Structure 1
Amino acid sequence: MKRNTPDRKSVRLGKAADWIAGRRVTGAPQPPLAGRGGRGTIMPLTKLAGAAAMLGLGAAAAMHVVWIFTPWPFDDLEDFTRTIAGVSEAEAPSAAATGSVAVALGAATYLVAAQADLAPRLLPGRLTRLGTATVAGVLLLRSGAGLVTSGLAGKSTTFTRWDLALYSPLCLTLGALAAYVAKNTETAGAEQEG
């Protein structure tokens, strides 16, 4: 008579699912009590939030690099500047300004990834955490300012419609994810020290 016992592969998958969900698995190797550099364990949800923020910030950085050379996905610079920046073609941001934004977004991508333990830390832990919190603050400030100014704009323009529909909500989401990463990795580090 065959017993209803799971095979080894099912047991391993079940333990992996428990570990990802943050549940303690008996008889299975546990994640270390301290991550790299003596930090506390970073829970999988924090890593997931960090990965989502990293992807969003990285994509925004890549788009800004592309925009140094071309108005893609638009056909001409006039449509591009009106939709992306809310200005006329004559007031289009320079390549240097666009490149500076790309570099800032790239740095933000790294800081969030390092704080979420998805990239090696090249800076001290407190500086990485402060950088991640700063990224969150800047993004949340940008989203709030965008929602208020575009929402209260007397005249609806292509930019204000896109700002309300995409740009500000995206900044809000990325800022909230970065704040979550900064706060939860700080808590894990404080528990380890205390």
Structure 2
Amino acid sequence: MAGTGGGASAAATAVRVTGGAVSAALAVTGALHAVWAVTPWPLRTPEEFADAVVGTGDGVPPAGACLAVAGLLGAASYLVAAEAGVLPAGGSQGSRRAGASPAGVRAVAGVRRDEARRTGVRRAGARRAGVRAVAGVLLARGVAGPVLFGRVSARTERFRRLNVRYYSPLCVVLGAGAAAVGWRGSSATNC
């Protein structure tokens, strides 16, 4: 039986490490999209940005689009980190892990014990579903990207090359990591 506990601990560690890495990559990518709302950095010109990152057009996409993608990537980063146990989950479960008294939380919220438990389970289920959706979107982008951006839509040669070498493989790796967290997260880390 001692080996079982070690295996569970190893699984929890693997989920935390994977979730932390995926979350960090999503956060950095989100921050980069936020930067693109105001500048084509690290590229020099909007035209060079359009060629390498967008694959079409004359420059950086509208600021609103960049910020929307940045926000979605930030939310995805949080969901993965919370499900992996790297960050505290929101709601009553997160408060308990942060050291708050469960009885105090229920008393302040005016919620009965069974209602608090059901709410925590629903939130965990919604978080897990969110992580699985993140995994699905990333995997779909990674697998379909070379086909969609290489054959179906007209994109620049530079973008197609970068997409096949970097963008799509990164999406597949992040999607696989998010999937591992989404299917092992809470059960492995006792979230």
TMscore range, shorter length: 0.7 to 0.9
Q: Distance in 2 between matches of 1:155 and 1:164?
A: 12
1:159 aligned residue: 159
Match of 1:128 in 2: 127
C-alpha deviation, 1:68, in angstroms: 0.7
Deviations 1:72-110 (A, max 9, x none): 0111000001110111216x4210001000000000000
Amino acid at match of 2:38: F
* Larger of the two Rg values belongs to structure: 1
Distance in structure 2 (CA, Å) of the matches to 1:59 and 1:87: 24
Equivalent in the alignment of 1:88: 57
Moved over 6 A (4+): 153-156
Q: Structure 1 residues 45 and 157, CA, compared in 2 at 3 Å: closer, same or farther? A: same
SS in 2 for 1:69: coil
State the TM-score, normalizing by the size of structure 2.
Answer: 0.73
What's the counterpart of residue 143 of structure 2?
144
Aligned to 1:112: 80
TM-score, with structure 1 as normaliser: 0.72
What SS does structure 2 have at the residue aligned with 1:72? Answer: coil
Q: Which has the higher contact order (CA 8 A, sep 6+)?
A: 2
Which consecutive residues of structure 2, in runs of 5 or more, have no partner in the other structure? 92-122
Question: What is the deviation of 1:54?
Answer: 0.7
What runs of 5+ residues in structure 1 fail to find an aligned partner?
A: 1-21, 25-29, 32-40
Tell me, in whole angstroms, the C-alpha distance in 1 between the residues paired with 2:88 and 2:25.
19
Q: Distance in 2 between matches of 1:151 and 1:77?
A: 22
Aligned partner of residue 33 in structure 2, secondary structure: helix
Aligned residues, how many?
155
Identity of aligned residues (%): 38
Specify which structure has the higher proportion of helix. 2
Distance 1:188 1:107 in 2: 22
Q: Deviations for 1:100-139, whole angstroms, at most 9, x for unmatched residues?
A: 0000000000000000011111161001100000000000
Contact 1:86–1:159, Cα closer than 8 Å, also in 2: yes
Matches for 1:51-66 after TM superposition, within 5 Å: 51-66=20-35
1:15-34 equivalences in 2 (<5 Å): 23=6
* Map of 1:14 onto structure 2: none
Structure 1: distance between partners of 2:63 and 2:150: 29
